Amino acid sequence: MTGWLYWGNWAATLVADGTAVAIYIKWFGQYTSWLDAVPQWLLALGVVCSILLFNMLSVKIFGELEYWFSMIKIVALIIFMVVAIGVVILGHPNGDPTGFSLIVDAGGWLPNGLLPAVIVQGADIITTCTADKAQNQILAERHVLPGVHLNAVGGDCPGKTELESSILDKSKVFVEFPEQTRIEGEIQQKPEDFPVVEFYQVLTGQATGRDSEEQITLFDDVGFAINDFSALRYLRDSVRGTDLAPT
C-alpha cells in the first residue's frame, strides 16, 4: 500500500510540475511567434516525456544530469539577482521608476495596513465602494495585477473618485451611460475623448469584452438603473436551461 501511495504522490507531482513548466515556457511566447503557436499541452507532454527519459537512464548518467541541472538553477538565480540589483541602481530600460522610493511613495509602507494589500494582490475581481466625497486613491496602479477586473462603485458624483488616474490608462473601461459617467464616475479624471466601451455594446455584440487574459478591465459604475435591469435580464436569459438555472 505504501508503494502505491508513493507512486500516486509522484504521479500527481509530475503532472503538476509539467504543467507549471509548460506555463512558464508558454509565457515567452509573447516574444517568439513560433513558441506562441505551440499548444501548452504539447509543452507539458514534452516535459513529462523528458523526465521519464532521464529516469530510464543509468544511475551514473542520471546523477550527472542532476548536477548540471542544479548548476543551471544556481547560475540562473545569480543572473536574476545581478539584473535585479542593476535595475534598482541604474534604472529600468523602459524608463519606468525603480528604487526604494516605490516602497515609500503614495502614503508610505502599508499605509492602510497589511490586510488590504494581501486581499488585493490575491484577488481576480476587486470592487471599490467608499462613502467619502473626495478624490481618494484607495487603489494604486501598483496594486492592480494583469488580468484583474475592477468594479469601481464609489465614484458616483462630481468630485468623488477612488482610483489612481493611471489605472484608467492601463484598463479597458466599460460604462453604462457615457454622458453621466464622465461627470460622476472615475473617468471624470480624464478628458472628454477618453475611450470607453458602453455596456450595451458588449451585450449586443457590437464590441468585445475582455480581449486577453492579461488585460485589465474596469466597470465604472454610477448606478444607472435601466442598465442594471437589462444586465440582469441578459444574465437570466443566458443561463436559462443550463445547470445554473435548469427551470
Mean pLDDT in residue range 51-76: 80
Based on the fold, state whether residues 72 and 113 are members of the same structural domain: no
How far does CA 102 lie from the centroid of its chain?
20
Q: Which residue has the higher pLDDT, 151 or 112?
A: 151
Q: Which amino acid is at 220?
A: D
* pLDDT tens digit sequence for 183-241: 988 999 999 999 999 988 988 889 999 999 899 999 998 877 676 777 788 888 888 88
What's the confidence (pLDDT) of residue 102?
67
Is 83 within the bounds of a domain?
yes
Q: What percent of the chain has pLDDT over 90?
A: 22
Based on the fold, state whether residues 69 and 148 are members of the same structural domain: no
Mean pLDDT in residue range 98-113: 64
Q: Which amino acid is at 31?
A: Y
Strands 171-175 and 149-152, by their bridges, are: unpaired
Based on the fold, state whether residues 214 and 136 are members of the same structural domain: yes
Based on the fold, state whether residues 210 and 138 are members of the same structural domain: yes
**Residues spanned by the domain of 53:** 2-90
Q: Which residue has the higher pLDDT, 138 or 42?
A: 42
Which of 154, 201, 145, 139 lies closest to 176 in space, CA to CA? 201
Strand partners, 131: none
* pLDDT tens digit sequence for 127-178: 888 777 778 788 888 788 889 999 998 777 888 888 989 999 999 999 988 9
Based on the fold, state whether residues 51 and 128 are members of the same structural domain: no
Half-sphere exposure of 108 (CA within 13 A, CB side): 3
Based on the fold, state whether residues 59 and 165 are members of the same structural domain: no
Cβ neighbours, 10 Å, residue 14: 15
Mean pLDDT in residue range 70-99: 84
Cβ 104 vs Cβ 128: under 8 Å:
no
Is 151 within the bounds of a domain?
yes
In whole angstroms, give the CA distance from residue 241 to residue 198.
28
Q: Which of 17, 96, 124, 156 is catalytic?
A: 156
What's the confidence (pLDDT) of residue 120?
67
Q: Residue 246 is placed in which grid cell?
A: 435548469
Q: Residue 80 is placed in which grid cell?
A: 536574476
Based on the fold, state whether residues 79 and 122 are members of the same structural domain: no
Based on the fold, state whether residues 134 and 219 are members of the same structural domain: yes
Is 125 within the bounds of a domain?
yes
User: Is the whole-model pTM more than 0.85?
Assistant: no
What's the confidence (pLDDT) of residue 108?
61
CATH code for position 132 = 3.40.50.720
Which of 216, 142, 219, 214 lies closest to 187 in space, CA to CA? 219
- CB neighbour burial string for 160-185, b if at least 16 within 10 angstroms, e if fewer: bbbbbeebbeebbbbbbbbeebbebb
Averaged pLDDT score across all residues of the chain? 83
DSSP type of residue 163: E
Is 244 within the bounds of a domain?
no
Based on the fold, state whether residues 113 and 57 are members of the same structural domain: no
In whole angstroms, give the CA distance from residue 47 to residue 54.
11
Highest mean pLDDT among 4-13, 14-23, 188-197: 188-197
The count of domains in the chain is 2
In whole angstroms, give the CA distance from residue 53 to residue 223.
60
Based on the fold, state whether residues 12 and 67 are members of the same structural domain: yes
For the sheet with 216-220, list strands across it.
125-128, 149-152, 216-220, 171-175, 197-198
Based on the fold, state whether residues 77 and 120 are members of the same structural domain: no
Based on the fold, state whether residues 113 and 235 are members of the same structural domain: yes
In whole angstroms, give the CA distance from residue 40 to residue 69.
23
Active-site residue 221, yes or no? Answer: no
In whole angstroms, give the CA distance from residue 166 to residue 144.
11
